[in-house]
Amino acid sequence: MRQHIRLPVMADESVFTVQDALRCLQLGAADIISIYPGKNGGLLNTITIAAMAEAAGVHCAIGSNLEWDIGSAAMAHACAAIPNIGVEQYAADIIGPVFHTEHATMPALGPNPGFISVPQTPGLGLEVDWQRVESLRIGN
């Protein structure tokens, strides 16, 4: 398909695993690969996919599954740490903090439509408020 159109093709819902990314790259199926830790099975797999894509000359974009603050913090860190995630070229889709009305981290990441700050404290930069998590549990 890429040979017959001029628009860049993004592989999104076709790349979940490192193996999916390898196959996509081997086939030359995309100009851009959409990555995110929740879909890829964690930060290590996201880093691996981005490195493979970079070696193949393919850019990455970050997408969202409406992650809660912890997942969104992981995504923000990935954007800041992985040079091949082209947030300047392709809008970063970290929309969980805007979507969710309840937050259970200190500090909460959102809602701040249009931007997200990378937490600066150790780990992912957020502390889970376990009492808040428990209060939000369904069936409580």
Q: For the segment 85-98, what is each residue's pLDDT rounded down to a tens digit?
A: 988 888 778 888 88
Structural domain range at position 16: 2-136
Q: For the segment 103-137, what is each residue's pLDDT rounded down to a tens digit?
A: 889 887 766 667 778 888 888 999 999 999 999 88
Q: What is the reported pLDDT for 109?
A: 77
| 3-class DSSP assignment, residue 103 | coil
Mean pLDDT of 56-77: 91
Q: What is the reported pLDDT for 52?
A: 98
How far, in Å, are 32, 35, 125 from residue 12 at the CA level? 9, 7, 27
Residue 4 has pLDDT above 80, yes or no: yes
Q: What is the CATH number of the domain that holds 90?
A: 3.20.20.120
Q: How many CB atoms lie within 10 A of CB 123?
A: 10
Q: What is the reported pLDDT for 126?
A: 92
Q: For the segment 24-59, what is each residue's pLDDT rounded down to a tens digit?
A: 999 999 999 999 899 999 999 999 999 999 999 999
Q: What is the reported pLDDT for 24?
A: 97
Q: Which residues contact residue 103 at a Cβ distance below 8 angstroms, ignoring those fewer than 6 apart?
A: 68, 69, 97, 109, 110, 132
| Number of separate domains in the chain | 1
Residue 17 has pLDDT above 90, yes or no: yes
Residue 140 has pLDDT above 70, yes or no: no
Give this prediction's pTM.
0.87
Mean pLDDT of 59-74: 90
